[in-house]
């Protein structure tokens, strides 16, 4: 068992003929993912790494039975790509694309949530269940099959922490990178609920960062509904208020979204909070 | 992208928000006539201008010129006032607050309103701020404006005026891809009119591809910030002496936190975004060198690029500019052993883990 994706997921790649699409199609296949189709308008009939390319998502779904989509199209076309996937009946969408206009995200997230489509992202690394499947761009080599579910708002920091876990011999059940944008299809609470109900997940790691109140909302949910042990790390303890720390999501505004507030809320919910990312494996072991 | 007040007000006016009559100048001579008593306001992208002396009244053209020449060139919290807005003074009966922003929790636009305008909204207690999300499926509807009117204590014609302003702000936010719009204060004049006395507007920089006119707008950037922007590298100035280069916001912040644990403080940080492109690493090294840190800490988690390729980019940058500051380098991913050897041979301090790298950089910075 794993969450959101498994060995049977049939993945199609929107934007498969672009550099990122082609590179990561190959990487996903190497991880063991069943990539069954690609979509690039006007390129039907081509093959990328032996995967057939279609003009539309609907054609690809008809021909291959794809149920999961990984989106690599450029930001101006991401809204269109999400709507096309929803319309074609895709149940799980991973939107890797970064720099998607926030008003586009508001519209397509409203649609995916109302239609019970699972959307991860935009601006996310995707998700991986070691030994089963990966949809997205997480590096193949850092994973090890195991019992810890990882959910994170960050990309490379997730790799850092997962890598440290693997080096310490602690494997993962599923690792979900929900993305750092302000408006995202899936949040911490959604994934925590899935992990709580997943028999393959025994413990949970949550990687948060400054900005917004998603970690505080997660803490409330953990207190009320999560019985599995949770370890957390919050990035940005030393970030000054009012400065945008990299991407749009990471900013302390209106006195909300500080690392202290998040760490306090999580500790009050019984979560063990690591001071440094490299402390996470140690806290999982004890 | 934050817009100057005068630009924000131009856009507000375009969408139907009443703003005071005014004009913007960059030298006192450009002031030829004024619409009665005016306020002369420094155009800088930072709060607290008034307290810093950047907003002054004037009664005549001569006085307006004298005041403008004092304000122009003034340093306000590190920003230079290059332009002033000369604007009709309004007779204030009451001051309200109204704004719209993106709300993560409800994944929608949020209307904010308060009867306590004119002060820092962060100091207004929560129960004095109305926060009403706008359902993306319905968009803005007039009942939301009636809620704002009721909350801010406006009745009759003034309630209608505030409703129209809410509609205008919503139209502006959606059509112009704004992520924040604020009117603080929204003035109720002695004559009973509602006027946007100040205006803040931030456009979503990810949407500039469909607003070519905005991408021409001048911005208040230091030379290093401008260069970083051109390279699509996030640049943040802090108050320490360690220059941090990392890829990804989360990893960059974790690197700063780790430095702090070992007694080090970051001065400038550059976030390459989620990439380990060797060219970008090289550009960042060159840019960082111009910021003159005491130590450089490079922390790259390689996803798809090979570490030795990244290391090669770093070495090229050092050779090109003859960089002599100590560099602690940690590059993680494929071929990392080879990369570490290359960096060691070039006189850098290689590290294998994040904590180790932070400790070494902190030690070096305190030396």
End-to-end CA distance of chain B: 39
- Comparing alpha-carbon positions, the chain B residue that sits nearest to A241 is B238
Q: What is the pLDDT of residue A159?
A: 94
Residue A130 in any domain: the answer is no
Q: Is residue B333 within 8 angstroms of chain A, CB to CB?
A: yes
**By C-alpha distance, which of B240, B183, B237, B224 is closest to B365?**
B240
Q: Taking all residues of chain A, what is their mean pLDDT, rounded to a whole number?
A: 94
Same domain for A161 and A92: no
Same-domain check for residues A152 and A254 = yes
Is A242 within the bounds of a domain?
A: yes
> Active site includes A247?
yes
Is A264 domain-assigned?
yes
* Coil, helix or strand at residue B66: helix
* Residue A177 within any structural domain of the chain: yes
- How many contacts (CB atoms, under 8 Å) link A and B? 172
The predicted-structure confidence for B65-107, as pLDDT tens digits, reads as follows 999 999 999 998 888 899 999 999 999 999 999 999 999 989 9
pLDDT at residue number B280 = 86
| More confident position, B120 or B143 | B143
CB contact under 8 A, B107 and A236: no
Interface of B with A in 274-293 (CB under 8 A): 274
Of B144, B201, B49, B166, nearest to B96 by C-alpha is: B166
Neighbour-count burial of A86, counting CB atoms closer than 10 A to its CB (0-12 exposed, 13-18 middle, 19+ buried) = buried
Whether A141 has its CB under 8 Å from any CB of chain B: the answer is yes
Q: Is the pLDDT of residue A248 over 70?
A: no
Are residues A239 and B273, on separate chains, in Cβ contact within 8 Å?
no
Question: Region B337-359: what's the mean pLDDT?
Answer: 90
**C-alpha–C-alpha distance, residues B23 and B5, integer Å:** 11
Asked, for residue A5, whether it belongs to a domain, the answer is: no
Chain B residues close to A76, C-beta within 8 Å: 209-210
Selected residue of B249, B280, B355, B358 to mutate for chain A interface (largest A Cβ count, 10 A): B249
Domain assignment present for residue A71? The answer is yes
What percent of chain B is modeled with pLDDT above 70?
Answer: 98
Q: Is B327 helix (H, G, I), strand (E, B) or coil?
A: strand
Which among A85, A120, A155 is the end of a domain? Answer: A120
Query: Each residue of B203-224: pLDDT tens digit?
Result: 998 999 999 877 666 566 778 8
Do A146 and A201 share a domain, yes or no? yes
pLDDT of residue B324: 87
Q: What is the CB neighbour count within 10 angstroms for residue A91? A: 16
Instruction: Verify whether the Cβ–Cβ distance A75 to B206 is below 8 Å.
Output: yes
pLDDT above 80: residue A249:
no
| Alpha-carbon torsion, ordered B328, B333, B336, B342, to 10 deg | -50
Q: Is B139 left (phi over 0), alpha (psi -120 to 50) or beta?
A: left
Could you tell me the pLDDT band of residue A17, with boundaries at 50, 70 and 90?
very high
Query: Is pLDDT at A254 greater than 70 in this prediction?
Result: no
The pLDDT, as a whole number, for residue A116 is 96
CATH number at residue A93: 3.40.50.720
Same domain, A145 and A258: yes
Q: In the prediction, which pLDDT does A39 show?
A: 98
Dump pLDDT digits (tens) for A23-56. Answer: 999 999 999 999 999 999 999 999 999 999 999 9
CB contact under 8 A, B250 and A217: no
Clarify whether residues A66 and A104 are in a common domain.
Answer: yes
- pLDDT grade for B313, boundaries at 50, 70 and 90: confident
Residues on chain A touching B333 (C-beta within 8 angstroms): 139
- Judge whether A125 lies within some domain: no
Share of chain A above pLDDT 90, in %: 88
Given strand B38-42, what is the order of strands in its sheet? B22-25, B84-88, B38-42, B55-58
Total structural domains within chain A: 2
Range of the domain at A113: 10-120
Let me know whether A15 and A148 are in one domain: no
Cis peptide before B121 (omega within 30 of 0): no
Beta carbons of B107 and A100 less than 8 Å apart: no
Q: Which residue of B has its CA nearest to A177?
A: B250
| Same domain, yes or no: A38 and A167 | no
Note whether A156 contacts B301, CB cutoff 8 Å.
Answer: yes
Mean pLDDT (chain B) is 92
Same domain membership, residue A209 and residue A96 = no
At residue A111, the pLDDT reads: 98
> Which pLDDT does position B39 carry in this prediction?
97
Angle at A221 between CA A215 and CA A226, to 5 degrees: 115
Q: How far is A137 from chain B (nearest CA, A)?
A: 8
Residue B226: pLDDT band (50, 70, 90) is confident
Residue A136, number of CB atoms within 10 A of its CB: 27
Among A68, A86, A120, the domain boundary falls at: A120
What is the percent of chain B with per-residue pLDDT over 90, rounded to a whole number? 64
Q: Is the residue at A126 inside a domain? A: no
Are B274 and A213 in contact (CB < 8 Å)? no
Q: Does A113 touch chain B (CB under 8 A)?
A: yes
Query: Nearest Cβ partner of A255 from B122, B179, B334?
Result: B122
Domains of chain B: 21-88 (3.30.1490.20), 92-215 (3.30.470.20), 223-366 (3.40.50.261)
Taking the Cβ of residue B28 and every Cβ of chain A, the question of whether any pair is shorter than 8 Å is answered with no
Identify whether residues A146 and A192 lie together within a single domain: yes
CA distance A95 to A125: 9
Distance CA A123, CA A154 (A): 10
Q: Which of residues 226-245 of A touch B (CB under 8 A)?
A: 233, 235-240, 243-245
The pLDDT of B113-133, averaged and rounded, is 90
Cβ neighbours of residue A12 closer than 8 Å, sequence gap 6 or more: A35, A36, A37, A38, A39, A57, A60, A61, A64, A66, A68, A69, A70, A90
Can you tell me whether residue A21 is helix, strand or coil? helix
Chain A hits for B204, Cβ within 8 Å: 101-103
């Amino acid at each position: 068992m794993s969450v959101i994706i498994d060995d049977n997921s049939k993945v199609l790649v929107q934007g498969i003929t672009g550099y990122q699409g082609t590179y990561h199609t190959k990487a996903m296949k190497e991880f063991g993912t069943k990539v069954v189709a690609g979509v690039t308008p006007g390129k039907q009939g081509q093959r990328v790494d032996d995967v057939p390319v279609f003009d539309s998502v609907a054609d690809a779904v008809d021909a291959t039975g794809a149920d999961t989509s990984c989106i690599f199209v450029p930001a101006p076309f991401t809204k269109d790509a999400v709507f096309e996937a929803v319309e074609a009946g895709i149940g799980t969408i991973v939107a890797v694309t970064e720099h998607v206009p926030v008003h586009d995200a508001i519209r397509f997230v409203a649609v995916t949530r109302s239609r019970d489509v699972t959307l991860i992202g935009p601006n996310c690394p995707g998700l991986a269940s070691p030994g089963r499947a990966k949809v997205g761009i997480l590096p193949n080599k850092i994973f090890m099959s195991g019992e810890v579910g990882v959910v994170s708002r960050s990309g490379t920091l997730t790799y850092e922490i997962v890598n440290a876990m693997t080096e310490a011999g602690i494997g993962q059940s599923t690792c979900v990178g929900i993305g750092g944008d302000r408006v995202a299809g899936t949040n911490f609470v959604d994934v925590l609920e899935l992990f709580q109900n997943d028999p393959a997940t025994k413990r949970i790691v949550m990687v948060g960062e400054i900005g917004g109140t998603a970690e505080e909302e997660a803490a409330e949910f953990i207190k009320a509904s999560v019985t599995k042990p949770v370890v957390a790390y919050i990035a940005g303890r030393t970030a000054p208020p009012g400065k945008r720390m990299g991407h749009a999501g990471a900013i302390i505004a209106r006195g909300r979204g500080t690392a202290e507030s998040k760490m306090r809320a999580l500790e009050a919910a019984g979560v063990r909070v690591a001071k440094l990312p490299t402390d996470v494996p140690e806290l999982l072991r004890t | 992208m934050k817009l100057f007040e005068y630009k924000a007000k131009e856009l507000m006016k375009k969408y139907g928000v009443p703003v005071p009559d005014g004009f913007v100048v960059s030298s006192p001579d450009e002031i030829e006539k004024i619409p009665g008593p005016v306020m002369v306001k420094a155009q800088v992208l930072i709060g607290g201008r008034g307290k810093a002396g950047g907003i002054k009244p004037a009664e005549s053209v001569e006085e307006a010129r004298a005041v403008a020449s004092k304000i122009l060139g003034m340093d306000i919290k590190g920003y230079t006032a290059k332009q002033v807005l000369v604007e009709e003074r309004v007779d204030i009966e009451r001051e309200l607050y109204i704004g719209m922003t993106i709300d993560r929790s409800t994944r929608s636009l949020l209307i904010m309103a308060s009867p306590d305008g004119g002060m820092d909204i962060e100091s207004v207690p929560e129960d004095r701020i109305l926060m009403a999300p706008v359902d993306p499926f319905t968009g803005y509807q007039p009942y939301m404006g009636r809620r704002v009117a009721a909350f801010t204590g406006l009745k009759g014609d003034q309630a209608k005026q505030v409703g129209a302003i809410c509609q205008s702000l919503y139209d502006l936010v959606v059509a112009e891809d704004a992520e924040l719009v604020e009117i603080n204060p929204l003035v109720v004049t002695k004559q009973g009119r509602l006027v946007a006395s100040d205006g803040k507007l931030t456009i979503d920089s990810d949407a500039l591809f469909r607003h070519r006119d905005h991408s021409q707008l001048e911005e208040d950037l230091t030379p290093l910030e401008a260069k970083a922007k051109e390279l699509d590298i996030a640049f943040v100035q802090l108050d320490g002496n360690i220059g941090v280069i990392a890829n990804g916001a989360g990893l960059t912040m974790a690197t700063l936190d780790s430095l702090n644990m070992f007694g080090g403080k970051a001065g400038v940080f550059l976030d390459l975004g989620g990439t380990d492109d060797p060219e970008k690493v090289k550009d960042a090294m060159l840019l960082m060198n111009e910021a003159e840190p005491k130590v450089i800490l490079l922390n790259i988690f390689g996803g798809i690029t090979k570490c030795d390729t990244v290391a090669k980019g770093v070495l090229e940058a050092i050779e090109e500019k003859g960089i002599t500051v100590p560099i602690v380098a940690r590059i993680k991913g494929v071929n990392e052993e080879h990369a570490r050897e290359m960096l060691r041979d070039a006189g850098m301090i290689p590290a294998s883990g994040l904590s180790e790298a932070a400790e070494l950089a902190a030690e070096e910075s305190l030396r």
